[in-house]
Amino acid sequence: MSSVRPWRDIARRQCRQIMVGRVPVGGDAPIAVQTMTNTLTSDAGATIDQIRRCEEAGADIVRVSCPDVESTAAFKQIARAANVPLVADIHFHYKRALEAADAGAACLRINPGNIGGHDRVAEVVRAAKANGCSIRIGVNAGSLEKDLLEKYGEPCPEALVESALDHIKLLQDHDFHEYKVAVKASDVFLAVSAYMGLAEAVDCPLHLGITEAGGLIGGTVKSSIGMGNLLWAGIGDTIRVSLSAPPEEEVRVGFEMLKALGLRTRGVRVVSCPSCARQGFDVIKTVEALESRLSHIKTPLSLSVLGCVVNGPGEARETDIGLTGGGNGKHMVYLSGVTSHTIQSDAMLDHIVELVEKKAAEIEAAKAEAELAQ
Ligand code: SF4
């Protein structure tokens, strides 16, 4: 269930669009969700397996680090197996960038100011152009250039933006414009302020991230505050949530953030209550089971699971499928916001899974029919 409500609208910042492989980033493209592998890239099998799990979770783009020649050697096999475009993560070693571009990278994450001079930048740009790669400039408060640290005394928004502009200029001087930029910091105030400054200063797509955000819960909260603030202001064309957690979790958190802001939809959006003494069934266990059994659904739809009639009917009115706890193990099911039928506790889980799967199939069939009719 959805309807147009102006107080929900987010006006996205206008910017150029670039391509990361077949994925458009910027312009009016959906905000792309990224993550990064944490396997040894030289272990192609393990890296491909992890990329698969990220693809299943919905990743649009996956970044793979290339710290050594063994990594770029394995990159070819990894890129061939991946269904999503890969970004090769390079620090300092421009030769790894040349190798990764040749090995099938869709994008190079490299800071042209850190690779050792004009000729090397020219070589990287040549390799990127020859292989159709875009470039992501990644400024990080933790590794700001010495001259900027001396000038500003400490990492600050102005220093991050100036660093980004310096790197951008090097690419522009080589007539290269297929780039996107990040100005990350682990401090949310610093990161948000830097991104806001950068958004004013450039017309390229922006890659959002709160770097080294922390573990699953702490990092999710911190990223949601920082990136949520920016996304709400219309800033951000691709996001990576950095968590000390498996990369597929980063993808899930990224989508939840975009779903919460109505910027993207994917899979089942669950509305559920924390439960209390009024609950007619065990809400927490039910939601856990439903989230796990419905994780394969990619079609966007909404499901409300509330323990009783206090808020149940109201939330059910706003969701595609609703479940509200009742007395004596008998609960109310709502379809498209309308009271439909009751279900007993013991049959409830299987029944809701069945309803959601049926609804997803109906939505997909209607979509296919509409596409055929065009
Ligand atoms: S919806 Fe009912 S069961 Fe859930 S928290 Fe509210 S009052 Fe408690």
- Give the count of beta carbons closer than 10 Å to the beta carbon of residue 210: 27
Residue 7 forms part of a structural domain: no
307 lines ligand 1 (CB under 6 A): yes
Residue 8 binned pLDDT confidence (cut-offs 50, 70, 90)? confident
- CATH number of domain containing 249: 3.20.20.20
Identify whether residues 255 and 292 lie together within a single domain.
no
Å from CA of 7 to ligand 1 middle: 27
Query: How many domains are there within the chain?
Result: 2
Å from CA of 272 to ligand 1 middle: 9
275 lines ligand 1 (CB under 6 A): yes
Identify whether residues 143 and 175 lie together within a single domain.
yes
Residue ranges at the known binding site for [4Fe-4S] cluster:
273, 276, 308, 315
Structural domain boundaries enclosing 310? 268-373
Structural domain ending residue among the three candidates 242, 260, 278: 260
Residue 1 forms part of a structural domain: no
pLDDT above 80 for 60: yes
Average pLDDT over residues 73-96: 96
Å from CA of 152 to ligand 1 middle: 52
Residue 102 binned pLDDT confidence (cut-offs 50, 70, 90)? very high
Mean per-residue pLDDT over the chain, rounded: 95
Q: In the chain, what percentage of residues exceed pLDDT 70?
A: 99
Average pLDDT over residues 120-142: 96
Residue 253 forms part of a structural domain: yes
Identify whether residues 244 and 280 lie together within a single domain.
no
Helix H or strand E encompassing 324: strand 321-324
pLDDT above 60 for 42: yes
Residue 4 forms part of a structural domain: no
- Residue 215 main-chain phi, psi, to 5 deg: -75, -175
Q: Which ligand 1 atom lies nearest to the CA of residue 276? A: 8
pLDDT above 90 for 349: yes
Structural domain ending residue among the three candidates 260, 289, 306: 260
Residue 3 binned pLDDT confidence (cut-offs 50, 70, 90)? low
287 lines ligand 1 (CB under 6 A): no
Residue 346 forms part of a structural domain: yes
Residue 114 binned pLDDT confidence (cut-offs 50, 70, 90)? confident
Residue 157 forms part of a structural domain: yes
Digit-coded pLDDT (tens) for 204-231 = 999 999 998 889 999 999 999 999 999 9
What's the pLDDT at 7? 85
Identify whether residues 255 and 351 lie together within a single domain.
no
Identify whether residues 222 and 316 lie together within a single domain.
no
Structural domain ending residue among the three candidates 236, 260, 284: 260
Identify whether residues 100 and 236 lie together within a single domain.
yes
Q: Whose CA is closest to atom 2 on ligand 1? A: 308
The answer to whether the beta carbons of residues 244 and 218 sit under 8 Å apart is no
In b/e form, how buried is each residue of 312-330, taking b as 16+ CB within 10 angstroms? bbebbeebbbbbbbbeeee
pTM for the complete prediction? 0.92
What's the pLDDT at 374? 80
Q: Which ligand 1 atom lies nearest to the CA of residue 274? A: 5
276 lines ligand 1 (CB under 6 A): yes
Residue 4 binned pLDDT confidence (cut-offs 50, 70, 90)? low
- CATH number of domain containing 353: 3.30.413.10
- Rounded Cα gap, residues 204 and 15, in angstroms: 5
Identify whether residues 227 and 339 lie together within a single domain.
no
Identify whether residues 201 and 286 lie together within a single domain.
no
Residue 319 forms part of a structural domain: yes
306 lines ligand 1 (CB under 6 A): yes
What's the pLDDT at 201? 97
pLDDT above 80 for 331: yes
Identify whether residues 161 and 59 lie together within a single domain.
yes
What's the pLDDT at 183? 97
Q: In the chain, what percentage of residues exceed pLDDT 90?
A: 91
DSSP characters over 92-124: S-HHHHHHHHHTT-SEEE--GGGSSSHHHHHHH
**Complete edge-to-edge strand list for the sheet that includes strand 268-272:** 268-272, 301-306, 321-324, 330-335, 338-344
**Which residue type, as a one-letter code, is found at position 26?**
G
Identify whether residues 183 and 156 lie together within a single domain.
yes
Digit-coded pLDDT (tens) for 190-207 = 999 999 999 999 999 999
Residue 3 forms part of a structural domain: no
Mutate to test the pocket of ligand 1, among 272, 281, 287, 306 (most ligand atoms within 8 A of CB): 306
Identify whether residues 272 and 256 lie together within a single domain.
no
Identify whether residues 172 and 279 lie together within a single domain.
no
